[in-house]
Amino acid sequence: MASETYMPGPVCLIENMEGQLVVKQEALQILSAITQPMVVVAIVGVCSTGKSYLMNQLAGKKKGFSVGSTVQSHTKGIWMWCVPHPEKPGHTLVLLDTEGLGDVEKGDDKNDTQIFALASLLSSTFVYNTMNKIDQGAIDLLHNVTELTDILRARTLPDNGVKDADDIGNFFPDLVWSIRDFYLSLERDGQLMTADEYLQNSLKMKKGSDQRTQSFNLPRLCIQKFFPTRKCFVFDSPTHQKKISQLETLKEDDLSFQFVQQMAEFSSHIFNKSKIKTLPGGIKVNGPCLENLVRTYVNAISSRDLPCMENAVMTLAQRENAAAIKRALSHYDQLMGQKVQLPTETLQELVNLHRSSEGEAIEIFKKNSFKDEDQSFQKELQTLLDAKQNDICKKNEKASSDCCSALLQDIFGPLEEAVKQGLYSKPGGHNLYLQKTKELMTKYHQQPRKGIQAEEALQKYLKSKESVRNAVLQTDHALTAKEKEMEEARVKAEAAKAEAENAVVIHRQMQQMMEEKERLHQQQIRQMEIEIANILAQQHRNLAHLLQVLNQLFQPRVVFLSFLYKDESMKQCGEMKSTRVARGRDCGIRPWGVHPSSTVTKYMV
């Protein structure tokens, strides 16, 4: 349905009748017939600052919303104009023009803040129109209205899914701050800046914690939280001062070139950047939904159930600090979940991890809280952190106890089974049982990461097994003397058998030693015989050698002597001498005597 068909011009949506806000049924009927998603743009500002002119430009018309040309305020309450969205087919652009703030004819600014709050709650883009520059008064006014707006939202939509400050920031509309007749130079410290940087610098907070600094920072902090998306436009004066009253009838050529260009940039931003009005949970607002919101908010204001503005800051502080506590606790839980592995070896280890995480959680709280002047919320956080410490200590004890119980069952289970099978039901079984228990206790102590309940769990287990130990002891004592004697006889028999076997072994060893000694003796005799034989053989060889030498020295010599004997008797005597010499029978070698009368003809030795 085209806007020209059902809405050729703006109509009053909420009428202001002597301080009472009344919803107009004609406007609600128009809304109930529009099923398209809606982009809602509302403008708020001091009276006679050109708000209506801006809205007419967005509607694409020169006339529509009443433009005041005198000191008297024309717009009363909130007026609505629904037109097809110029950039989003199938969407409706809803323009809301509000009566001027600070009208001297009203004399009461309570109604101003109510209309201001309604405009911010109903819109997806909130245009805040001020004159000349951004000053502290404009910031304080916007701050006060955001507080009242949030309280109104919380009262009217208790189950809308808004849970913390992040959701609240998504609930509020985008802020577009328009500054009319801007006369300052956009520069800082000799450097040029944009309009957005000018707005950002105006909302910048100071460092410090004193009361004056907190008072300065609080409205800026609220505006930053409730309007996470912010944009700023500055406008020159549209024309000469004398022609301002004829602004609706002036042609574009009669307007300042800078103003026309700035207006085009403003309109382009509104058309392209403004979002569909969306409620928490992703619900896109159409005509019937917007109708319901209007009824709900106005009824809440008419019921006069809203707190005074002095309590608004306290309400805001309570909610923000509660959200800061929630963030801090969430951060603590995350850190402890990452660092702690239950059970811890010692209690001090767990305490150190808690203190580290606790410190970071408190820092998170301090960064996200404000106006906690008496530190009541920080004390509440500390109480909750202490409770968490007690809780995790109990969990640590239980984890240690469970771990130790499982470990004890695993280590002592075989011993329990051995007792059931009667392996210790014998004389001396009690001592064996105690010895085995001691060994298993040592094994238990050597196991790591049992936690702080390690010793207590062991003692508790041992105490629970006292009846078993006593039963083993009684069984040990109950054995009869005969059984003990039989046991002793068996032990003696085994000892005697072992002794006999040992004697046999010793005898065998002695026999082997004797045999070995005899073998060595015979071997020595043989060796001596060999040595004697060798000595005799050597002596024989030596003697033979000696004889050979002697034979060589005393070998018989043959002497042939020829004598001339005078007579035959002398000849015989000579032959006899020769024979003796030849036979070597003479003991010495000496010359034979020759008869002086004989003649020797020849001799040879």
Q: Is the pLDDT of residue 565 over 50?
A: no
Average of per-residue pLDDT values in the chain = 80
- Distance linking the first and last C-alpha atoms of the chain: 179
Q: How confident is the model at residue 70 (pLDDT cuts 50, 70, 90)?
A: very low
Using DSSP's 3-state secondary structure scheme, residue 396 falls into helix
Q: Are 345 and 451 in contact (CB under 8 A)?
A: yes
Q: Is the pLDDT of residue 589 over 50?
A: no
CATH 3.40.50.300, domain 11-155+170-207+215-241+252-305, yes or no: yes
pLDDT of residue 111: 74
> Pairing relation of β-strands 125-131 and 174-180?
parallel
375-411 CB burial, b ≥16 within 10 A, e <16: eebbeebeebbeebbeebbeebbebbbebbeebbeeb
Q: Are 175 and 231 in contact (CB under 8 A)?
A: yes
Q: Are 57 and 43 in contact (CB under 8 A)?
A: no
Can you tell me the distance from the alpha carbon of 429 to that of 432, in angstroms, rounded to the nearest whole number?
A: 5
pTM of the model: 0.52
Can you tell me the distance from the alpha carbon of 455 to that of 452, in angstroms, rounded to the nearest whole number?
A: 8
pLDDT of residue 583: 45
389, HSE (Cβ side, Cα atoms, 13 Å): 20
Axis-axis angle for helices 466-478, 376-420 (nearest 10): 20
Rounded to 5 degrees, what are φ and ψ at 149? -60, -45
* Residue partners of 275: CB distance under 8 A and separation at least 6: 39, 124, 125, 174
* Residue partners of 447: CB distance under 8 A and separation at least 6: 407, 411
Q: Is the pLDDT of residue 501 over 90?
A: no
Q: What is the mean pLDDT of residues 116-144?
A: 88
Q: Is the pLDDT of residue 337 over 90?
A: yes
Can you tell me the distance from the alpha carbon of 593 to that of 184, in angstroms, rounded to the nearest whole number?
A: 180
Q: What share of the chain in percent tops pLDDT 90?
A: 36
**Which whole-number Å values give the CA distances from 73 to 66, 100, 102, 104, 280, in the listed order?**
10, 7, 10, 9, 36
Chain segment 89-117, per-residue pLDDT in tens: 999 999 999 887 755 455 455 677 788 88
pLDDT of residue 370: 64
Indicate the domain borders of the chain: 11-155+170-207+215-241+252-305, 317-397, 403-489
Q: How confident is the model at residue 484 (pLDDT cuts 50, 70, 90)?
A: low
Complete edge-to-edge strand list for the sheet that includes strand 38-45: 20-23, 11-17, 78-84, 92-98, 38-45, 125-131, 174-180, 230-234
* Residue partners of 389: CB distance under 8 A and separation at least 6: 351, 354, 358
pLDDT of residue 401: 93
Can you tell me the distance from the alpha carbon of 173 to that of 19, in angstroms, rounded to the nearest whole number?
A: 26
pLDDT of residue 214: 83
Top-confidence residue, 554 or 309: 554
Q: How confident is the model at residue 88 (pLDDT cuts 50, 70, 90)?
A: very high
Q: Is the pLDDT of residue 598 over 50?
A: no
Burial of 155 (0-12, 13-18, 19+ CB in 10 A): middle
Name the nearest CA neighbour of 434 among 419, 448, 455, 453.
419
Residue 71 DSSP one-character state = S
Q: What is the mean pLDDT of residues 23-44?
A: 93
Q: What is the mean pLDDT of residues 256-282?
A: 88
pLDDT of residue 307: 41
35, HSE (Cβ side, Cα atoms, 13 Å): 1
Residue 467 CA, chain-centre distance (Å), reads 48
Chain segment 425-458, per-residue pLDDT in tens: 887 888 899 999 999 999 999 999 899 999 999 9
Tokens coding 569: 């008797």
- Please identify which residue in the block is written with the tokens 């009361």: 211
> Pairing relation of β-strands 38-45 and 125-131?
parallel
Q: How confident is the model at residue 147 (pLDDT cuts 50, 70, 90)?
A: low
Can you tell me the distance from the alpha carbon of 361 to that of 356, in angstroms, rounded to the nearest whole number?
A: 9
pLDDT of residue 107: 43
pLDDT of residue 164: 47
Chain segment 367-406, per-residue pLDDT in tens: 877 667 788 899 999 999 999 999 999 999 999 999 999 9
Q: Is the pLDDT of residue 480 over 60?
A: no
Top-confidence residue, 46 or 462: 462
pLDDT of residue 456: 92
* Residue partners of 224: CB distance under 8 A and separation at least 6: 203
Ranked by mean pLDDT, the top range of 224-228, 304-308, 527-531, 553-557 is: 527-531
Residue 472 DSSP one-character state = H
Cis amide bond preceding 343, omega within 30: yes
Top-confidence residue, 428 or 282: 428
Can you tell me the distance from the alpha carbon of 114 to that of 99, in angstroms, rounded to the nearest whole number?
A: 11
Top-confidence residue, 250 or 601: 250
